[in-house]
Amino acid sequence: MTVLVRDFRTEDAEAVTALRRVCVPHQVVTEELILFGVATANPAKKYRLLVAEEEGVIIGTAHVGIAYDSSDPGQSSVTPVVHPDRRGRGAGSLLLRTAEEHLAAEGATSVYAWVIDEPSSRAFAGRCGYRPSRGSHFQRLDLAGAALPEPPPLPPGLTLGTAADFADNPRSLFEADAESTSDVPSDISAELDDYEDWLHHTWNDPTLDRGLSTVVVTADGQVAAFTVVVTDGLTTYATGMTGTRRAFRGRGLAKLAKSDSLRRARAAGYTDAFTANDGDNGPMLAVNKWFGYEICASEVRYVRTLG
């Protein structure tokens, strides 16, 4: 049987969503999100969503793009996944080769790829010329049955709100997100300095649940800390980003924001909570362990030099 790689088509949304839910069950994926990502990608990203097809059946996908918001030029990424029952047929190699050719043509000098931390996947990455760089952990919390710890007290002068409270002007959230993101350990630096781009791709993300995204607010209405939440609208809740502005760190505000959000998510009927952290992000790993999250999968980031 012949495997072909091509660009995503609108009619592929259902099949791609189902495939990614099998391959990455610890992430929130919806048809609306897939279509949104393709339709609204920043032109500077040179984004392509590739699909691998075997006799009319989509068996693999890969998100491909330039890290246009990085301060280091030439960085890029690809996230290939292949259905567990269809591996060993060349789909992964073809997805990677197609992605690398595209990225090299767009000026990329390095390409990063996340690989599930298991022997066969790591061996595959090595055969394709990739070398390991850093690790990350996906964590799951049984939200329906977990006994959530009592939240820390709310410091004087601060109040709890939600991202929905900032619907008319979310700039303070953007500023808090930008500051927090710049401090997250990563191979690819990210500088969130384009407010309009952030509005377009983060604030308008169709899976973003503004009502469940808790914000710790100062007396003058600024964001001190936050936790951003995405959901599938059914049972799955995932933390997109949790951050505290530097001037407010060390007061337990991340725990406070996540605690409030998790409790309200459980009341809304969500049963599974997921999050992910870089292996070097000790503070957030400790916070999630305090809540009772347990590692459900790990990834290793691999990198290959192009050219």
- The confidence score (pLDDT) of residue 279 equals 82
- The confidence score (pLDDT) of residue 41 equals 96
Whether 280 and 179 share a structural domain:
yes
What pTM, to 2 d.p., does this model score? 0.92
Decide: 32 and 76 in contact? Cβ < 8 Å.
no
- The confidence score (pLDDT) of residue 280 equals 80
The set of residues, in sequence order, having a beta carbon less than 8 Å from that of 167 and lying 6+ positions away, is 210
**Residue for token pair 């509005």:** 199
> Within a domain: residue 68?
yes
Whether 273 and 164 share a structural domain:
yes
Q: Of 108, 130, 157, which residue sits at a domain end?
A: 108
Pairwise CA distance, residues 21 & 82, whole Å? 11
The CB density around residue 203, as the number of other CB atoms within 10 Å, is: 18
- The confidence score (pLDDT) of residue 96 equals 96
Pairwise CA distance, residues 212 & 157, whole Å? 22
Q: Which two tokens stand for residue 156?
A: 């004087």
- The confidence score (pLDDT) of residue 183 equals 81
- The confidence score (pLDDT) of residue 260 equals 97
The CB density around residue 247, as the number of other CB atoms within 10 Å, is: 8
- Write the pLDDT tens digit of every residue in 24-80: 999 999 999 999 999 999 999 999 999 999 999 999 999 999 999 888 889 999 999
Whether 101 and 146 share a structural domain:
no
Q: Which two tokens stand for residue 52?
A: 């691998």
> Within a domain: residue 194?
yes
> Within a domain: residue 264?
yes
Specify which residues 164 forms β-bridges with.
none
Whether 25 and 79 share a structural domain:
yes
CATH classification at residue 284: 3.40.630.30
In terms of residue numbers, what domain contains 287? 141-298
> Within a domain: residue 118?
no
Whether 284 and 150 share a structural domain:
yes
- The confidence score (pLDDT) of residue 22 equals 96
Percent of the chain residues topping a pLDDT of 90: 86
**Residue for token pair 């590739």:** 50
3-state helix/strand/coil string of the chain: CCEEEEECCHHHHHHHHHHHHHHCCCCCCCHHHHHHHHHHCCHHHCCEEEEEEECCEEEEEEEEEECCCCCCCCEEEEEEEECHHHCCCCHHHHHHHHHHHHHHHCCCCEEEEEEECCHHHHHHHHHCCCEEEEEEEEEEEECCCCCCCCCCCCCCCCEEEEHHHHCCCCHHHHHHHHHHHCCCCCCCCCCCCCHHHHHHHHHCCCCECCCCCEEEECCCCCEEEEEEEEECCCCEEEEEEEEECHHHCCCCHHHHHHHHHHHHHHHCCCCEEEEEEECCCHHHHHHHHHHCCEEEEEEEEEEEECC
- Write the pLDDT tens digit of every residue in 188-216: 777 788 999 999 999 999 999 999 999 99
Residue whose C-alpha is closest to residue 145's, from 273, 259, 240, 296: 273
Whether 47 and 174 share a structural domain:
no
Pairwise CA distance, residues 256 & 151, whole Å? 6
pLDDT beneath 70, residues of the chain: 1
Distance of CA 285 to the CA centre of its chain: 16
> Within a domain: residue 117?
no
- The confidence score (pLDDT) of residue 246 equals 94
Largest Cα–Cα separation, the chain: 66
Whether 159 and 102 share a structural domain:
no
Whether 88 and 170 share a structural domain:
no
> Within a domain: residue 237?
yes
Pairwise CA distance, residues 212 & 192, whole Å? 23
Whether 157 and 285 share a structural domain:
yes
Q: Of 88, 108, 128, which residue sits at a domain end?
A: 108
Pairwise CA distance, residues 261 & 227, whole Å? 8
- The confidence score (pLDDT) of residue 248 equals 95
Whether 164 and 91 share a structural domain:
no
> Within a domain: residue 303?
no
Whether 220 and 266 share a structural domain:
yes
Whether 157 and 104 share a structural domain:
no
The CB density around residue 39, as the number of other CB atoms within 10 Å, is: 8
For the chain, the domain total comes to 2
